[in-house]
Amino acid sequence: MDPFTDTLQRLREAFGSGRTRPAEFRAAQLRGLGRFLRENKQLLQGALAQDLHKSVFESEVSEISISQSEIDSALRNLRAWMKDEKVSKNLATQLDSAFIRKEPFGLVLIVAPWNYPVNLTLVPLVGALAAGNCVVLKPSEVSKSTEKVLAEVLPRYLDQSCFAVVLGGPQEMGQLLEHKFDYIFFTGSPQVGKIVMAAAAKHLTPVTLELGGKNPCYVDDDCDPQTVANRVAWFRYFNTGQTCVAPDYVLCSPEMQARLLPALQSAITRFYGEDPQSSPDLGRIINHKHFQRLRDLLSCGRVAIGGQSDESERYIAPTVLVDVQETEPVMQEEIFGPILPIMNVRGLDEAIDFINRREKPLALYAFSNSNQVVKRVLAQTSSGGFCGNDGFMHMTLSSLPFGGVGTSGMGSYHGKFSFDTFSHHRACLLRRPGLEKIYAIRYPPHSPRNLRLL
């Protein structure tokens, strides 16, 4: 018996009672989630500011309104998504009814990281509730203020017999993962993803793993450097670089690097002023452990822009590194901070080769005025998602699946993909009780005549 046994038992019983299945119940939970966001917007913004020094703008676009629009979309489409999906039939089943039923898995565990602690808990939750599951939500213990709001306030807006927030770090997760769930949806690092998958394997529990990695950003020689610099600086330093889909490094020629550096400096100064530390729009590193890790990375290669840090505030300046070796730590691990190394390649072939020698990333970016160049990068590489001539805008479309491939993850969500992820697709065929004479041709003793009739 551990602290989770009673809660999980309660949720299992609630699922068994069938109360989460009707569309009305699911819609009521989704509306409750929407009310939670609207009525606690300032509380959430305050918690995000405490945890990550997140600006109101970033909290709004990347945490609150993105969650709200997932709720709105699920409410709009719920009945259509829940409908049985009719499928084509063969000769032997012409008179029958064949369809796919989307049924809830049952008891679902959602585990979230700290970098977008509202978005990455609520957006999967929308899918799980819409699909009619009971849910255990485990927010990150690292983003403490947001964790507190999620644990203390969110349950008041949902049916507590079907939903629970549980708290804890690695040790509690170890206990939690001993239990059998019907589905586990995990967002976090590849290292912990392996732990989660190994624990799930003991119960043969299916998983979605939303992981991370090093996202390449190729910049072709024909680009306008200022346009590229604006876009790259925006999405590298958004949330202080603590974004799973941020560009981890730039790949370009030495000539493009020389044009890109002053353009990046100009973008950084326009965005965050002469003294980025005093900018209200630049966040802070989540904790001292990550601050130390990132400060160590500043010694890789040569600092071309930024490089300052202040431990008392966990501040790291928007930084660009050049002359970096592939073997240095900044090119070996996911950076997850406001540091952008530029790696030099001679042309597109070398860039594609550089990308393909590494693990498949969560996102891949290619900038070029030539459509053909962008399409070649797309055709000759693999990644969870891809965006040409901009950064992470592909993930703002809920009509696209969001997820990784290889070590950046498995499975996907957003919009209808979330509903499908949290639903078992049950293959159903309803046949007639009569017509036994026709069906009898399949029974032994077999004859050449029956074979001809098939």
The answer to whether the CB of 355 falls within 8 A of the CB of 248 is no
List, in order, residues 6 or more apart from 38 with CB less than 8 Å away: 68
Give the separation between CA 110 and CA 186, rounded to whole angstroms. 6
Q: For CA atoms 392, 246, 52, 341, give the dihedral sign.
A: negative
Query: Judged by CB, which is closer to ligand NAD: 32, or 241?
Result: 241
Given 58, 63, 210, 334, the catalytic residue = 210
Instruction: Give the CA angle between residues 357, 361, 367 to the nearest 5°.
Output: 90
Q: Nearest approach, Cβ of 135 to ligand NAD (angstroms)?
A: 15
To the nearest 10°, report the CA torsion of 68, 71, 72, 77. Answer: 160
Query: Judged by CB, which is closer to ligand NAD: 175, or 226?
Result: 175
Q: Residue 399, class by beta-carbon neighbours within 10 Å (0-12 exposed, 13-18 middle, 19+ buried)?
A: exposed
- Pick from 335, 303, 334: which is nearest to 319 by CA? 303
Query: Judged by CB, which is closer to ligand NAD: 37, or 120?
Result: 120
Query: Judged by CB, which is closer to ligand NAD: 51, or 220?
Result: 51
Amino acid identity of residue 286, one-letter, is: I
**Residue number of the CB atom closest to ligand NAD:** 212
265 sits in the region (left: phi over 0; alpha: psi -120 to 50; else beta) called alpha
Q: Nearest approach, Cβ of 123 to ligand NAD (angstroms)?
A: 9
Q: Nearest approach, Cβ of 147 to ligand NAD (angstroms)?
A: 9
The answer to whether the CB of 119 falls within 8 A of the CB of 62 is yes
List the end-to-end C-alpha distance of the chain, in Å, as a whole number: 57
Give the separation between CA 256 and CA 343, rounded to whole angstroms. 11
To the nearest 10°, report the CA torsion of 408, 409, 413, 414. Answer: -10
117: preceding bond cis by omega (within 30 degrees): no
Query: Judged by CB, which is closer to ligand NAD: 105, or 336?
Result: 336
The answer to whether the CB of 261 falls within 8 A of the CB of 219 is no
Q: Nearest approach, Cβ of 415 to ligand NAD (angstroms)?
A: 15
Give the separation between CA 108 and CA 372, rounded to whole angstroms. 43
The helix (H) or strand (E) run that includes residue 413 is none
Q: Nearest approach, Cβ of 289 to ligand NAD (angstroms)?
A: 10
Give the separation between CA 440 and CA 14, rounded to whole angstroms. 44
Q: Nearest approach, Cβ of 349 to ligand NAD (angstroms)?
A: 28
Amino acid identity of residue 371, one-letter, is: N
Q: Nearest approach, Cβ of 332 to ligand NAD (angstroms)?
A: 14
Instruction: Give the CA angle between residues 185, 186, 191 to the nearest 5°.
Output: 150
Q: Nearest approach, Cβ of 384 to ligand NAD (angstroms)?
A: 7
- CB-side neighbour CA atoms (13 Å) of 246: 24
Query: Judged by CB, which is closer to ligand NAD: 245, or 345?
Result: 245
Query: Judged by CB, which is closer to ligand NAD: 210, or 420?
Result: 210
Residue 210 bears catalytic tag: yes
Query: Judged by CB, which is closer to ligand NAD: 186, or 367?
Result: 186
Which residues contact ligand NAD (rule: CB under 6 A)?
Answer: 111-115, 120, 138, 140-142, 169-170, 173, 187-189, 192, 195, 210-212, 244, 334, 336, 362, 404, 409
Query: Judged by CB, which is closer to ligand NAD: 111, or 134?
Result: 111
The answer to whether the CB of 134 falls within 8 A of the CB of 14 is yes
Q: Nearest approach, Cβ of 9 to ligand NAD (angstroms)?
A: 22
Residues carrying an active site annotation: 210
